[in-house]
Amino acid sequence: NLMSDDQSSLPTALQDKYVLTRRIGTGVCGEVRLAFERSTCRKLAVKIINKKNFQSEGTATRNAETEIQILQRVDHPCLIKTEDFYQTEDSYYIVLELMEGGELFHRVKSQQQLNEGVAKLYFYQMLCAVQYLHRNGIIHRDLKPENILLSSNEDTCLIKVTDFNQSRILEEAALMRTLCGTPSYLAPEVFTHASTTGYGLAVDAWSLGVLLFVCLSGYAPFHESFSENSVKEQIIRGEFTMVPSKWRRVSNQAKDVVRKLLVVDPTQRMSVDEALQHPWLQDQQMLQTARSLMYPEGEDALPAAAPSDAPVAASMEVESSTGER
């Protein structure tokens, strides 16, 4: 447990600043623990990654910048922010803002399926996050409900994409590991193109299609119980199943987005940019809500034009004219 050897193996600088407590998440490369900043008692998440299954042996490092620096360089309201970073010879410790709502995976599971308006709000934020990554030359390659975190337990909340740097670091090793793991969210070209450098931005669009499918219906589009073909076969053929009872209340526009993302040929697949222009997302109320979640300071930064007949403004006018402030 934490109080025994683990605690002692933590960097002292980390221990000086934070108290690490229970495990709140686990991933391929390590675990996430709930932490408290000693000086402020602020709750944070500390992601512990042991290097041995993180290092892609042999492959040349991509460029001078380490992926962790990329993690620290990117800045978008729907991308998890790194607060602090430590390392020992066998582990990385990444201090992250705590996402109180936990993984999207658990939210969808507990609610069976999300209502369409909530799914649209979350999907729009994912599109913005992935569009930002793509514009910064980062392909996530591993988008799945476990990597989408919710900022609160409210339906209307900010979402953040996480783990986007790891897939870049695990580039070659990930392909091997990915081909061993459950392929449910993987795009067909991951199987057909041998090298990871072969596939482009379109893989993230496919995974977003699977994510939207899961949010709207509560189940995965490719599953061994749906066909005698393996999940891998179903993916390569783009053979997904929309169970009527689960999709009855979903709008045709939402289904259209899913169908245009789950296209096998990456050159024919709708891109993230095109998805952001799809009619289903031209929903002013959702866009307004998303904007206020993503850019909260945006609200007071632009002073609302006070209507001319506002009594408050008038009284303030009186005060200032008498010189009172």
Ligand X SMILES: COc1ccc(CNC(=O)c2ccc3nccnc3c2)cc1
Count the Cβ atoms, other than its own, within 10 Å of residue 246: 16
Q: Closest Cα partner for 130 from 102, 82, 89, 162?
A: 162
Choose the catalytic residue: 75, 84, 142, 283. Answer: 142
Among 20, 74, 99, 212, binds ligand X (CB under 6 A): 99
- The sheet with strand 159-161 has its strands ordered as 102-103, 148-150, 159-161
Return d(Cα 291, Cα 86) in angstroms, integer: 33
H or E segment to which residue 299 belongs: helix 297-301
Q: Which is nearer to ligand X, 143 or 149 (CB)?
A: 149
| Cα-based distances in Å from 74 to 44, 97, 102, 233, 263 | 19, 15, 22, 36, 29
SS3 of residue 89 by DSSP? coil
Report if residue 48 touches ligand X, rule: CB under 6 A. no
CB of 101 to ligand X, least distance (A): 7
Q: Is 265 a catalytic residue?
A: no
CB of 258 to ligand X, least distance (A): 27
Report if residue 162 touches ligand X, rule: CB under 6 A. yes
Report if residue 43 touches ligand X, rule: CB under 6 A. yes
CB of 317 to ligand X, least distance (A): 47
Report if residue 175 touches ligand X, rule: CB under 6 A. no
Q: Which is nearer to ligand X, 101 or 209 (CB)?
A: 101
CB of 154 to ligand X, least distance (A): 13
Among 37, 100, 224, 233, binds ligand X (CB under 6 A): 100
Could you tell me which residues come within 8 angstroms of residue 140 by beta carbon, excluding any fewer than 6 positions away? Answer: 130, 133, 147, 161, 164, 167, 204, 207
Q: Closest Cα partner for 223 from 192, 250, 185?
A: 185
Q: Which is nearer to ligand X, 1 or 284 (CB)?
A: 1
Select from 92-100, 184-192, 207-215, 276-284 the region that touches ligand X (CB under 6 A).
92-100
Binding site for ligand X (CB under 6 A): 24-25, 32, 34, 43, 45, 80, 96, 98-100, 102, 149, 162
* Positions marked active-site: 142
